[in-house]
Amino acid sequence: MAKLKVYDPAMCCSTGVCGPKVDMTLVGFAADLDWLKRQGVEVERYNLSQQPAAFVANAVVNEEVRRNINVLPILLVDDEIVCRGHYPLRNELTDMFSLEAEAYPGLLRVISQNGD
């Protein structure tokens, strides 16, 4: 099975519970990655503020970041960029790995869930 690497921007926690408001996009994405793992995808996740070495070590990511830091998050599948600048929804993730999206309330996760 393919390998997914996620390079997050600098943040306190990758699930977004550490801000003055919980970021539901991050919560949903963390759940999706958890689901992908259960489908057998190998997932690695790096946070710029916690694992900066990973951003130095990977040449592709390093070049992107040098050009523009706002490109984060970057997602790589087998070292090829599959998504940048936003967190993909689950249907995008399932497409990346040709998986069947099972019935799941998060399938059409709405980013605007953030509203007050």
Q: Residue numbers of the site for other proteins (CB under 8 A)?
A: 9-15, 17-24, 27-28, 30-35, 38, 45, 48-53, 55-56, 62, 65-66, 69, 104-106, 109-110, 113-116
Nearer to other proteins, 97 or 106 (CB): 106
Nearer to other proteins, 50 or 83 (CB): 50
Q: How far apart are CA 4 and CA 37, in angstroms?
A: 10
Least separation, in Å, of the C-beta of 36 and other proteins? 11
Q: What is the DSSP letter of 114?
A: G
Token digits for 102?
Answer: 């099972």
Q: Are 59 and 20 in contact (CB under 8 A)?
A: no
Token digits for 67?
Answer: 């050009």
Least separation, in Å, of the C-beta of 74 and other proteins? 12
Q: What is the total residue count of the chain?
A: 116
Least separation, in Å, of the C-beta of 104 and other proteins? 6
